[in-house]
Structure 1
Amino acid sequence: MAVRPGDGEPRLSGRAPAAGEKAGTEPEPAVVPDQETGGTPARVPDVAIRRLPVYLRALEELRAEDHEIVSSADLAARTGYSSEQIRKDLAYFGAFGTRGVGYRIDVLVDRLRHILGLDREVSIALVGAGHLGTALARYNRTRHRDVRIVAIFDSDPARIGERIEGLEIQPADAMEAVIRRLGIRLAVIAVPAGAAQAVARRLVAAGVEAILNFAPVTLQVPPGVVVQNIDLTLELQSLAYYIRPEPATG
């Protein structure tokens, strides 16, 4: 059974589920101004927002291959989403293409980067420099320029002062001051489950508005703070559904 990109994507959540509420309830859609007129805001489902980086990556690949125009059908073939879904997602943000012609790749790349806030550098704080945190920092620092880890914190005194791709690990006690000084609004939590909630509270108090959480725990955060959870165990367990037992022989 084929699974489209995004069918198993981690959710965005601004709060923990209330008592009696099923985990996984979709949060309120984001509200964005009309990209063409600046007029009446459109309400954009978070699943549509999560698809935009997929479209952007495909477009950047096409541009690197010297393509100038792309149709929604071609973009669908690259991403695994239907052309109808792509057109619907883009329509939340205004008119981009020309009927019968398609989309100018350079224009659409610029527009999507602007919509996602990637036309400026987005600074990230990473909390937790264990095996996972170290791997995340190395990957991010060597592969990404616009969404970039600029501060790493850990509570292990033995790790303080070490460098990961040129970035010094700082003590957890310095977290709030550094985040405020650098104006960081996005953070990654890569600490054990028992420490994650306390870390989240400190991040929010320091001004962080969006958290990527790798700890296997549901974080309680105030309204207006967005949490995206990535639990590798849950992802693997859900994939196990598609692995059927081998038929008995003999």
Structure 2
Amino acid sequence: MSRRPSPTRDRGIPEATVARLPLYLRALTGLAERGIATVSSEDLAAAAGVNSAKLRKDLSHLGSYGTRGVGYEVEYLVYQISRELGLTQDWAVAIVGVGNLGRALANYGGFVSRGFRVAALLDADPEVVGDTIAGLNVVHIDELETVIKRRGVSIVVLATPAQAAQAVCDRVVNAGVTSILNFAPVVLSVPESVEVRKVDLSIELQILAFHEQRKADRESGGPLMAVENQ
């Protein structure tokens, strides 16, 4: 199974810009739902949580420069960003690992509106296999390769335990999938042609804890303040 190269990568759009495009799309979608037809770069940047100069530079990579005194046309920019991100297509997604996290992902209603369709759920636990979740029957992991081929899976979400993640990843890659979203708390080894995005909730929480500690130290005049005052 082969996948079309990303149009953003072909056109030399920086990865940092690609990472921000979903933020702009989310903000624009909210504006469109409120019936707002045009938006200034300043207002869009504020809604997306970036500075306006960065936003204008990012959108210039898409060939969108807005109109002086008017701003950006919301609906057209939604289409433009959706096209660049490949969201005008229907991407079939398989979720491997149907524990609490896998079930929550399977039941998330926001995938369809963003161009993603959960096409398969797989697990190794015989107590889970055969369950119906979000209208899909959970299939045994032994059928992984067959399911990927038969259901045209382009993206696999790994929500397995850490010890199982690499073995499942290897099978997914060998089956021809080149895009993986990894929730397992482990770094996966994959060929250069495979794109892996890692979501580690514990790391994100640790980063938040770090900032909370910094704020607490400043307020109390603790260790951080002592270091900064040296």
Same-fold status (TM-score > 0.5): yes
Q: Judging by fraction of residues, say which structure has more helix.
A: 2
2:204 corresponds to: 235
Give how far 1:32 is off. Answer: 3.5
Deviation at 1:231, TM superposition (A): 1.0
Query: In terms of mean alpha carbon deviation, does 205-214 or 41-50 score higher?
Result: 41-50
- Structure 1 residue identity aligned to 2:111: H
- Secondary structure of the 2:68 match is coil
Q: Which runs of 5+ in 1 are unaligned?
A: 1-29, 34-40
1:95-244 matched pairs, under 5 angstroms: 95-139=64-108, 142-145=109-112, 146-244=115-213
Per the alignment, residue 224 of structure 2 pairs with none
CA 1:31–1:59 in 2, change beyond 3 Å: closer, same or farther?
Answer: closer
Tell me whether 1:247 sits opposite 2:223 in the alignment. Answer: no
Q: Offset at 1:96?
A: 4.5
Q: Aligned pairs, how many?
A: 211
Worse overlay, 96-105 or 222-231: 96-105
8 A Cα contact 1:154 1:170, kept in partner: yes
User: How far does residue 143 in structure 1 lie from its aligned partner after superposition?
Assistant: 2.7
Alpha-carbon distance change, 118 to 31 in structure 1, aligned in 2, over 3 angstroms: closer
Question: Is the contact made by 1:196 and 1:215 (CA closer than 8 Å) also made in structure 2?
Answer: yes
1:46 maps to 15
- Detail structure 1 runs of 4+ shifted over 4 Å in the superposition: none
Q: Which moved more, 1:41-50 or 1:209-218?
A: 41-50
In structure 2, distance between residues paired with 1:31 and 1:118: 12
**Aligned-residue offset at 1:205:** 1.1
* 8 Å CA contact retained: 1:184, 1:207: no
**Structure showing greater relative contact order (alpha-carbon pairs closer than 8 Å, 6 or more residues apart):** 1
Alpha-carbon distance between aligned partners in 2 of 1:110 and 1:118, rounded to the nearest angstrom: 9
1:159-180 CA-to-partner distances (Å, cap 9, x unmatched) read 1110111111001011111111
Deviations 1:55-111 (A, max 9, x none): 011111111111111111110111110111111111112234223321111111111
User: Cα–Cα, structure 1 residues 109 and 96, in superposed 2: closer, same or farther, change >3 Å?
Assistant: farther
CA distance in 2: counterparts of 1:115 and 1:137, whole angstroms: 25
TM-score, with length taken from structure 1: 0.80
Deviation at 1:31, TM superposition (A): 6.7
Cα distance in structure 1, aligned partners of 2:54 and 2:7: 19
Identity of aligned residues (%): 45
Where 1:221 maps in the other structure, the secondary structure is coil
CA distance in 2, matches of 1:50, 1:121: 20
Amino acid at match of 1:247: S
Q: Secondary structure of the equivalent of 1:222?
A: coil
**Which residue in the other structure is 1:20 paired with?**
none
Say whether 1:76 aligns with 2:45: yes
Counterpart CA distance in 2 for 1:217 and 1:238 is 18
- The DSSP-based 3-state class of the residue aligned with 1:144 is helix
CA RMSD of the aligned region, Å? 1.8
3-state DSSP class of the match of 2:79? helix
